[in-house]
């Protein structure tokens, strides 16, 4: 028995066998010359590998038709067509005969060439095919090498497991058979990285930042994981297992108690009402929000529409997704964030660029403004969907007024284009800026002139104000929201919003941290948006305190000269209020 402690990233207990995932983008593809007389045998070897790959894809296609959605089944259908594509086979045959290299290398070379060309296309449908090509060539190569393609195996899981890996891309999280992944344990990551955010969205207990955990365990070893405390035990003995099970029962009891608050307002004892909303990444999540008492969606991370493997972000796809979410939320508002790709996240396949400093690079609104065509597709889809409910649009990673004005101008153009096509939209759509960069917080008074609301993205605001990569477990201890600088940025932003008569929200992970709820309320926030399962606990805290005491705490916290001083004030306050 061995115990590891990491960063708690998604609450809950999981007990299952380990599945150690090795990202095969790191596996080596052999390259060697072959004799002319061997070319025919190499070709035969390829045909056999393609046949096996086709059998695997057919099985997946069948299962997707039965279990998942039609769209997923269509992806596998597209893969089957590609496996039979004569152009693809002809290119491999030509290279094999002329270059006389082993067929694994040739498949990789050809697929890289095709993917690269497709990726340059302005048409998302072609870029989407690049992802498919990469997927099927990976499958063929794994078959040629006789190894289990672990990414493929993730999609094909048929037993309950705890997924252990060095790191996971959000796209791995989408590919995996989620119903079988009972827990996630990662060497890298922190509680605010995107894989953690997805784990919470999928309600999968997770622990991150475990250093070299994935190297220290073997496939099939028994694991017990507590995503609330960050503990993992390998091969737990009877006593330890009993402890995990007791903790699980305790957590379930707490969930039951908190669920009884569902219909009650998030209101302090002296009548201050806060809106508690949900963060979502997938339209399917909208259906479950009511059970947690969410009063709308404060952050819909629309970029996930762009990364579902094999799916293009066409206007119609987006229009249907946004309409679906708006209709599902009824009278409650839905805040859709325009795509935020790049940086540590997502869509590497679709919008790939190699950058030395991706977190300071071409991401979020920067990417949208540089691709006005792509951006306006999204804006038109949003405007058209706005007639189905109450929509708010917000722009991520705004650094100053110029970007806000450019984004608003493109929104105007999108309106004009809808008008031309006689497509209606709602006039009451509010448009806001996300405050995630120190420059935006400092100029919040100026940004407020052009914004209907602010939403503070504390995950990025903390990352950029303290120079702490949010996905790097080695420095995650520095990314502390209670740093006086972070509190000052929050105060400045909220005050600037209120001076202009607009509302201020927090939609970063901080919104769900019980340790700071009192401070956030005391600073005057109007709205908190978080992973839906966290809403009941935060509501319980809000209902047990007065705004007056929160304000006194905020004043004290703002006087803190260090993280320790701020934390001492927050802890004392929590103790007094039994939190």
Q: If contact means CB under 5 to 8 A according to the sort of partner, which of Mg ion, ligand PEP, none does residue 458 touch?
A: ligand PEP
Residues forming a β-bridge with 13: 226
Least CB distance to ligand PEP at residue 283 (A): 17
Question: Which of 149, 193, 418, 507 is the catalytic position?
Answer: 507
User: Buried (b) or exposed (e) across 459-471, using 16+ Cβ within 10 A?
Assistant: bbbbbbbbebbbb
* Closer residue to ligand PEP, CB minimum distance, 236 or 343: 343
* Closer residue to Mg ion, CB minimum distance, 349 or 460: 460
Is 416:378 a contact under the CB 8 Å cutoff?
Answer: no
Least CB distance to ligand PEP at residue 303 (A): 8
Indicate whether 527 belongs to the interface with ligand PEP (CB under 6 A): no
Indicate whether 277 belongs to the interface with ligand PEP (CB under 6 A): no
DSSP sequence for 87-133: HHHHHHHHHHHHH-B-HHHHHHHHHHHHHHHHHT-S-HHHHHHHHHH
Least CB distance to ligand PEP at residue 459 (A): 3
DSSP sequence for 381-449: HHHHHGGGSEEEEEETT--SHHHHHHHHHHHHHHHHHHHHTT----TT-EEEEEE-SHHHHHTHHHHHT
Q: If contact means CB under 5 to 8 A according to the sort of partner, which of ligand PEP, Mg ion, none does residue 301 touch?
A: ligand PEP
* Closer residue to ligand PEP, CB minimum distance, 107 or 504: 504
Question: Between residue 319 and residue 358, which ones bind ligand PEP under the rule CB under 6 A?
Answer: 340
Least CB distance to Mg ion at residue 364 (A): 7
Indicate whether 508 belongs to the interface with ligand PEP (CB under 6 A): yes
Question: Which of 61, 194, 332, 483 is the catalytic position?
Answer: 194
Single out the segment in contact with ligand PEP by CB under 6 A; choices: 5-13, 129-137, 377-385, 454-462.
Answer: 454-462
Indicate whether 507 belongs to the interface with ligand PEP (CB under 6 A): yes
CB atoms within 10 A of CB 3: 11
Q: If contact means CB under 5 to 8 A according to the sort of partner, which of ligand PEP, Mg ion, none does residue 507 touch?
A: ligand PEP
The site for Mg ion (CB under 5 A) is made up of: 436, 457, 460
CA distances from residue 375 to 304, 371, 498 in whole angstroms, order as listed: 15, 6, 30
* Closer residue to ligand PEP, CB minimum distance, 301 or 388: 301
Is 222:17 a contact under the CB 8 Å cutoff?
Answer: yes
Q: Is 194 a catalytic residue?
A: yes
CA distances from residue 32 to 94, 100, 106 in whole angstroms, order as listed: 17, 9, 10
Angle at 194 between CA 192 and CA 197, to 5 degrees: 70
Closest CA to 261 of 567, 544, 481: 544
Q: Is 507 a catalytic residue?
A: yes
* Distance of alpha carbon 542 from alpha carbon 540, whole angstroms: 6
* Closer residue to ligand PEP, CB minimum distance, 24 or 340: 340
Out of 115, 458, 465, 549, which residue is the one contacting ligand PEP (CB under 6 A)?
Answer: 458
Binding string, 459-498, against ligand PEP, x = CB under 6 A? xx--------------------------------------
Query: What's the token pair of residue 497?
Result: 């919003």
* Closer residue to Mg ion, CB minimum distance, 103 or 364: 364
- First-to-last alpha carbon distance for the chain, in angstroms, is 34
Indicate whether 436 belongs to the interface with ligand PEP (CB under 6 A): yes
H-run or E-run covering 36: none
Closest CA to 530 of 469, 477, 465, 457: 457
Q: If contact means CB under 5 to 8 A according to the sort of partner, which of Mg ion, ligand PEP, none does residue 109 touch?
A: none
Least CB distance to ligand PEP at residue 232 (A): 25
Is 498:504 a contact under the CB 8 Å cutoff?
Answer: yes
Which residues are identified as catalytic?
Answer: 194, 507
Binding site for ligand PEP (CB under 6 A): 299, 301, 340, 436, 457-460, 507-508
């Amino acid at each position: 028995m061995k115990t590891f402690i990491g960063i708690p990233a998604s609450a809950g207990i999981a007990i299952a066998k380990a599945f150690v995932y090795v990202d095969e983008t790191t596996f080596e593809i052999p390259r060697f010359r072959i004799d002319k007389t061997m070319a025919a045998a190499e070709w035969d070897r390829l045909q056999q590998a393609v046949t096996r790959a086709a059998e695997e894809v057919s099985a997946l296609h069948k299962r997707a038709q039965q279990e998942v959605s039609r769209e997923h089944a269509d992806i596998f259908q597209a893969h089957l067509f590609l496996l039979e594509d004569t152009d693809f086979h002809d290119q491999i045959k030509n290279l094999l005969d002329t270059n006389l290299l082993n067929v694994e290398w040739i498949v990789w070379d050809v697929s890289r060439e095709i993917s690269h060309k497709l990726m340059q296309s302005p048409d998302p449908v072609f870029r989407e095919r690049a992802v498919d090509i990469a997927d099927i060539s990976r499958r063929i190569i794994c078959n040629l090498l006789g190894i289990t393609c672990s990414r493929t195996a993730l999609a094909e899981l048929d037993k309950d497991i705890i997924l252990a890996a060095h790191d996971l891309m959000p796209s791995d999280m989408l590919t995996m058979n989620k119903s079988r992944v009972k827990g996630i344990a990662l060497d890298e990551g922190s509680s605010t990285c995107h894989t953690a955010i997805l784990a919470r969205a999928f309600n999968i207990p997770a622990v991150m930042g475990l250093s070299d955990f994935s190297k220290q365990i073997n496939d099939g070893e028994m694991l017990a994981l507590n995503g609330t405390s960050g503990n993992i035990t390998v091969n737990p003995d009877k006593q330890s297992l009993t402890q995990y099970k007791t903790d699980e029962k305790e957590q379930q009891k707490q969930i039951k108690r908190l669920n009884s608050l569902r219909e009650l307002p998030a209101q302090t004892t002296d009548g201050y009402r806060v809106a508690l909303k949900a963060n979502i990444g997938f339209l399917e999540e909208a259906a479950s929000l009511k059970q947690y008492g969410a009063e709308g969606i404060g952050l819909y991370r629309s970029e996930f529409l762009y990364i579902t493997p094999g799916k293009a972000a066409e206007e119609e796809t987006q229009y249907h997704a946004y309409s679906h979410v708006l209709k599902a939320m009824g009278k409650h508002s839905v805040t859709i964030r325009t795509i935020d790709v790049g940086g540590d996240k997502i869509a590497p396949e679709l919008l790939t660029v190699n950058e030395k400093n991706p977190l300071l690079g071409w991401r979020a609104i920067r990417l949208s403004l540089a691709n006005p065509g792509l951006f306006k597709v999204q804006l038109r889809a949003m405007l058209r969907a706005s007639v189905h409910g109450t929509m708010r649009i917000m722009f991520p990673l705004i650094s100053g007024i110029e970007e806000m004005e450019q984004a608003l101008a493109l929104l105007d153009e999108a309106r004009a284009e809808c008008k031309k096509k006689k497509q209606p939209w709602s006039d009451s759509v509010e448009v806001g800026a996300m405050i995630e960069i120190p420059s935006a917080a400092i100029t919040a008074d100026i940004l407020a002139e052009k914004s209907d609301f602010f939403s503070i993205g504390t995950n990025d605001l903390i990352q950029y104000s303290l120079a702490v990569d949010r996905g790097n477990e080695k420095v995650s201890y520095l990314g502390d929201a209670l740093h006086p600088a972070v509190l000052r940025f929050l105060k400045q932003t909220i005050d600037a919003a209120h001076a202009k008569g607009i509302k201020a929200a927090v939609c970063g992970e901080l919104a769900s941290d019980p340790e700071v709820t009192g401070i956030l309320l005391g600073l005057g926030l109007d709205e908190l948006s978080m992973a839906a399962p966290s809403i009941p606990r935060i509501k319980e805290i809000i209902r047990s305190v007065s705004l007056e005491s929160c304000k006194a705490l905020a004043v004290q916290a703002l006087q803190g000269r260090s993280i320790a001083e701020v934390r001492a004030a927050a802890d004392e306050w929590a103790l007094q209020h039994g939190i």
